[in-house]
Amino acid sequence: MNLRATVLCSVVLLAAPLFAREKSDVIVMNNGDRLTCEIKGLDSGVLYVKFDYILGTISVQWSKVHHLESGQLFMVMTESGLVYTGTLSSPDAPGDRPMKIEVAVDPETKVAIDRTQVVKMEQTSENFLQRFNGDVDFGVSYSKGNQATQFSLNSDVQYPRERWSAELSYSSTLADSTGNTAATRNQVTYSGQHLLPWNNWYYKGLGVFLQSSTQDIDLQTTLGGGIGRYLKNTNNAQIALLGGLAWQSTAYHATTQPLGTQNVAAAVVAANVRLFRFNKTNLSISAIVLPAISQPGRAFFDTNASYYIKLFSNLTWNISFYGNWDTRPPANFSGSDYGTSSGLGWTFGNR
């Protein structure tokens, strides 16, 4: 449990509002309401803002915003995958012309973007610690019948920049019941991604470190990378597909027979899907398939899925599913480990 406590404390420290800024941004709604606030960011069709006189972050439907102004630096991503950094304003749009967002890249250059083409805005800063986004979730369940207890901890931290981003996630489960050995699973995933010159294309590197007592895996290390593309990138959905190569090394916990570390070269096919509904729900699914090149006929599969329901402010309730499979494990070893968990979560930054 020491590792869980360390990770949880680290995430909580990152989540602390280390530096606050003046709430002097302005948004004007389609019905004429004018609000002075702090614009936190835009994601999943939701504009997040804060007010001096209201506790917590307020969610505003992006399609209902007519005009906005902010002197804060933002990273603005469009449907085509282009990213700009600068301050925000909305030029006058006479008649029925759609609203545009102007991003002041520098004092002499402004880029005008149709509001419908803007899929994400992230507040950024010259200060390193203010650039992080993320969430942490915790769940616990107990059954008196067989004295079964299960704990789960999931956390995710993202560091976005204009042309690249880095992400670190950690998931852990512990299940224990009377008469059985406690089952543990810990997974750390790191990824870094950089946009390519072509719209919606990127290259990505990843590292996955897995421990699973169910599969008798002491440590499975997967390192890989490839080229990916956003197939859909809107205010309602984000779908990305990646292909590449990977190397995997697995050290098993062998108690009945000597078993060395297994090394496998494999292809990588990865998919990420996010579906969202304004201020209500968020479904996130990631899956990685590793067909072994050095051992034809063997394949590895890893997936994680989370369904979030927003309760209020930064508090969410979620249900998650995890699973990993090996089609040809060593003899007498389990080829799968999967499960579900649910609990409460807390988001920070622009999540």
Instruction: Based on the fold, state whether residues 53 and 141 are members of the same structural domain.
Output: no
Per-residue confidence (pLDDT) for residue 50, from 0 to 100: 86
Q: Does residue 155 sit in the same domain as residue 290?
A: yes
Residues 158, 56 share a domain = no
Range of the domain at 70: 20-124
Residue 14 is predicted with a pLDDT of 43
Tokens in use for 210? 């897995």
Whether residue 136 sits in one domain with residue 120:
no
Rounded Cα gap, residues 260 and 298, in angstroms: 18
* Contact predicate 64/42, CB 8 Å: no
Cα separation, 26 vs 6, in Å, equals: 40
Picking from 91, 124, 157, the residue at the C-terminal end of a domain is 124
In degrees, rounded to 5, the angle at the alpha carbon of residue 208 between the alpha carbons of residues 345 and 157 is 35
Paired strand residues for 346: 136, 315
Rounded to two decimals, the pTM is 0.71
Same domain, 55 and 77: yes
3-state secondary structure 22-61: CCCEEEEECCCCEEEEEEEEEECCEEEEEECCEEEEEEEE
Same-domain status, 165 and 189:
yes
In terms of domains, do 191 and 316 share one? yes
Are residues 342 and 215 both part of a single domain? yes
- The distance in angstroms from the start CA to the end CA of the chain is 27
Domain shared by 99 and 166, yes or no: no
Same domain for 287 and 200: yes
pLDDT of residue 95: 56
Residue 93 has what pLDDT?
63
What pLDDT, on a 0 to 100 scale, did the predictor assign at position 263? 94
pLDDT in tens, the chain (351 residues): 444 444 444 444 444 443 455 678 999 988 889 999 988 888 878 888 888 888 777 888 888 888 889 888 888 888 877 888 888 888 876 655 667 888 888 777 888 888 888 888 887 765 666 667 788 899 888 777 667 888 999 999 988 877 888 999 999 999 888 777 888 999 999 999 998 988 889 999 999 999 999 999 999 999 999 999 999 888 778 899 999 999 999 998 876 556 778 999 999 999 999 887 766 678 899 999 999 999 999 999 999 999 988 787 778 898 999 999 999 998 888 999 999 889 999 887 666
Of 99, 124, 149, the one marking the end of a domain is: 124
Verify that 92 and 146 share a domain, yes or no: no
Residue type for 219, please?
A: L
Question: Do 319 and 343 touch, CB atoms closer than 8 A?
Answer: no
The CA–CA distances, whole Å, from 336 to 154, 155, 266, 323 equal 20, 23, 19, 7
- Measured CA to CA, the distance from residue 300 to residue 306 in angstroms comes to 21
Unique residue bearing structure tokens 């008798």: 216
Instruction: Please state the domain count of the chain.
Output: 2
Q: Are residue 331 and residue 183 in the same domain, yes or no?
A: yes
- The reported pLDDT for the residue numbered 7 is 46
CATH of the domain at 224: 2.40.160.40
Domain boundary among 93, 109, 124: 124
Q: What is the dihedral of CA 173, 175, 181, 184, to 10 degrees?
A: 0
Residue 152 to residues 155, 185, 342, Cα–Cα distance (Å): 10, 10, 8
What is d(CA 298, CA 6) in angstroms, rounded to the nearest whole number?
36
